[in-house]
Amino acid sequence: MDEQDLSGNQTAENKLPQAKTDQVIRQQLEAMVDRWGLSQADLADLAGQIRTGTGSPGEVILPLRAHAGFWGLITKGQADAYADQWGAGPRIAVLRPGSTFGDDMLGESRPSEAMLRAITHCEFKILRRADVEKASSNRRSLRYQKVLGKLAELSAIVLFLCLVATLALSLSPVRQFLSLAPMGIGQLCSQWAQGDERSQVYGSCAVHAWTWASELAPDDANPPLALGTFYFRQGQMELARQSFEAAEELAPDWAEVYNNLGLVYAEQGAHKEAITAFERALKLEPGTSAIEHNLGLSLQAIDATDEAITHYRQAVAFGGPQPSTLVNMAIGYYETGHSAKAAAAAQQVLRYDDASAPAYTVLGAVEMEKQQLQLALAHLRQAVALDSSYSQAHFYLGLAYRMLDQPEEAVAALERALATAEDEEMRSEVLRYLADLQETGK
């Protein structure tokens, strides 16, 4: 008798027929209609966004407790499900073509309750929660479009009345008071603009509101500060810089202004200017964890890694253990040759965030130095399973395979590192190793 998969379907083949694959996916999508408020058109769009993944024998497909946020369907091959992180404990189940996983992660955004590891070469389909949420949000936006449109019209009327009042009144205290109305409207429109289909309409509403607030109270730094923050979140860095510089002229003693300017400069790659801005902010508000962290990032970006670590340590001391700070500290320690400290910091990261791909990558790199190659391989596989776009994880995984004399696996990992690399320095390093592998064959 054929074994049943997790969804109760009989499966005797190693590959799920396309018709059956389409049927299972359709059933899953239909079951989501009421929960997510989707239409049939939305289901068709989501079906087109289904992604295909693969896993080599022994590769972790889904780490334990990963906040991956997707539903999956095995279409080819087999995978084991374990209740522990490394697959050392008893096996929960064998997933075959037709088996599904991740229902809780998709429906309730819960972390994975089992670790999945490929037994044979596996292929699987993935539906991301982010795509479902986007479709649901778009559907809600369309339903309430008329209501939101009327609210936008009402906001415009209120702004117009404020402008009329401004023309009628010239006393400075009155103008300062009147600016509170457009400031509040700008804040409301800014909140509506986040994740809404009509974000352009509400974004324009926020910009106009805060611009009029600036005209009503030209000596107040709050309107340009709000504008700069809005532009920064929208990725409009030059407009953000101009707004924050206007706020700086009005409030040269506000640490927030210089911290925000530093963030803009860092985003534009001008890290020396960012460092100056962050240092100015710390003089005004010493002991601020977020500013110490930001300063550390820019120092690390210009290879002043020892100084960066000093500020990361300050950030942790002032603000408590923050995984984002600790992981950069771990990377900094590794870059400066302090492997033991790097590993300790990475382990501390995992106590707060056990799905941190950079932390597992640091541990893998340290273990490679100690010639503990199998342990390094396990950590690096965990890293790429958690974040397939993290080029450093693929890079060190390729080096680990190279040290284990597995050239084919090494080339595959390094090619993935090359595809995901974001800077030329990283690409050049990967290409150098790839050329060496092709020349020597190992």
Torsion on CA atoms 66, 70, 76, 80, rounded to nearest 10:
30
What is each CA distance from 335 to 182, 295, 298, 344, 365, in whole angstroms? 49, 18, 15, 14, 11
DSSP count for the chain of H helices, then E strands: 22, 8
Distance, in Å, from the CA atom of 43 to the CA atom of 53, rounded to the nearest integer, reads: 21
**Conformational region of residue 96, where left means phi above 0, alpha means psi within -120 to 50, and beta covers everything else:** beta
Distance, in Å, from the CA atom of 345 to the CA atom of 324, rounded to the nearest integer, reads: 11
| 36 occurs within a structural domain | yes
Q: Residue 94, SS3? A: strand
**Highest-pLDDT range among 23-32, 73-82, 202-211:** 73-82
Distance, in Å, from the CA atom of 258 to the CA atom of 224, rounded to the nearest integer, reads: 13
Of 432, 351, 439, nearest to 399 by C-alpha is: 432
| 338 occurs within a structural domain | no
**Highest-pLDDT range among 67-71, 124-128, 274-278, 316-320:** 274-278
Q: What is the pLDDT of residue 341?
A: 95
Share of the chain above pLDDT 70, in %: 79
| 291 occurs within a structural domain | no
What is each CA distance from 417 to 402, 403, 405, 427, 438, in whole angstroms? 14, 17, 19, 8, 16
What is each CA distance from 304 to 33, 272, 300, 307, 354, in whole angstroms? 53, 11, 5, 6, 28
Higher-pLDDT residue of 111, 243: 243
Residues 126 and 67 in one domain: yes
Higher-pLDDT residue of 307, 110: 307
- Picking from 200, 220, 240, the residue at the C-terminal end of a domain is 220
Residues 161 and 198 in one domain: yes
Distance, in Å, from the CA atom of 58 to the CA atom of 251, rounded to the nearest integer, reads: 59
What is the sign of the dihedral through the CA atoms of 317, 320, 323 and 325? negative
Task: Show the tokens assigned to 150.
Answer: 């009327």
Query: Would you tell me how many other CB atoms lie within 10 Å of the CB of residue 270?
Result: 16
| 334 occurs within a structural domain | no
Q: Is 1 a residue whose pLDDT tops 50? A: no
Question: CATH number of the domain that 83 lies in?
Answer: 2.60.120.10
Residues 149 and 64 in one domain: no
Confidence category of residue 153, pLDDT binned at 50, 70, 90: low
From start to end of 27-139, where are the E strands? Answer: 51-55, 60-62, 70-76, 79-82, 91-95, 100-101, 115-118, 122-128
Distance, in Å, from the CA atom of 108 to the CA atom of 407, rounded to the nearest integer, reads: 41
| 174 occurs within a structural domain | yes
Residues 24 and 120 in one domain: yes
Distance, in Å, from the CA atom of 277 to the CA atom of 412, rounded to the nearest integer, reads: 43
Determine which of 46-55, 208-217, 335-344 has the lowest per-residue pLDDT on average.
208-217
What is the sign of the dihedral through the CA atoms of 211, 213, 218 and 220? negative
How many structural domains is the chain composed of? 2
What is the sign of the dihedral through the CA atoms of 172, 174, 180 and 183? negative
Task: Show the tokens assigned to 354.
Answer: 């056990």
Higher-pLDDT residue of 221, 207: 221
The whole domain housing 29 covers 18-137
Task: Show the tokens assigned to 12.
Answer: 């005797």
Average pLDDT of span 128-148? 70
Residues 62 and 116 in one domain: yes
Length of the chain: 442
Residues 106 and 165 in one domain: no
- Picking from 204, 220, 236, the residue at the C-terminal end of a domain is 220
What is each CA distance from 315 to 29, 292, 324, 436, in whole angstroms? 45, 5, 11, 41
β-partners of residue 95 are 79
Higher-pLDDT residue of 152, 201: 201
Residues 179 and 212 in one domain: yes
Q: What is the largest CA-CA distance in the chain?
A: 89
Average pLDDT of span 338-348? 94
Q: Is 197 a residue whose pLDDT tops 50? A: no
| 311 occurs within a structural domain | no
Q: Is 12 a residue whose pLDDT tops 50? A: no
Distance, in Å, from the CA atom of 363 to the CA atom of 393, rounded to the nearest integer, reads: 11
Distance, in Å, from the CA atom of 286 to the CA atom of 122, rounded to the nearest integer, reads: 53
| 269 occurs within a structural domain | no
Residues 29 and 119 in one domain: yes
Determine which of 222-231, 334-343, 383-392 has the lowest per-residue pLDDT on average.
222-231
Average pLDDT of span 7-27? 72
Alpha helix positions (H), 72-221: 103-107, 129-143, 145-168, 172-178, 180-193, 199-216
User: CB within 8 A of 236, min separation 6: which ones?
Assistant: none
What is each CA distance from 433 to 354, 388, 412, 429, in whole angstroms? 30, 20, 12, 7
| 296 occurs within a structural domain | no
129-143 vs 145-168: helix crossing angle, rounded to 10 = 70
Residues 131 and 170 in one domain: no
Torsion on CA atoms 146, 151, 156, 159, rounded to nearest 10:
180
Residues 66 and 149 in one domain: no
As a whole number, the mean pLDDT across the chain is 81
Confidence category of residue 71, pLDDT binned at 50, 70, 90: confident
Q: Residue 116, SS3? A: strand
Q: Is 193 a residue whose pLDDT tops 70? A: no
Q: With contact defined as beta carbons under 8 Å apart, do 223 and 217 qualify?
A: yes
Q: Is 296 a residue whose pLDDT tops 80? A: yes
- Picking from 120, 137, 154, the residue at the C-terminal end of a domain is 137
Residues 167 and 120 in one domain: no
Residues 54 and 129 in one domain: yes
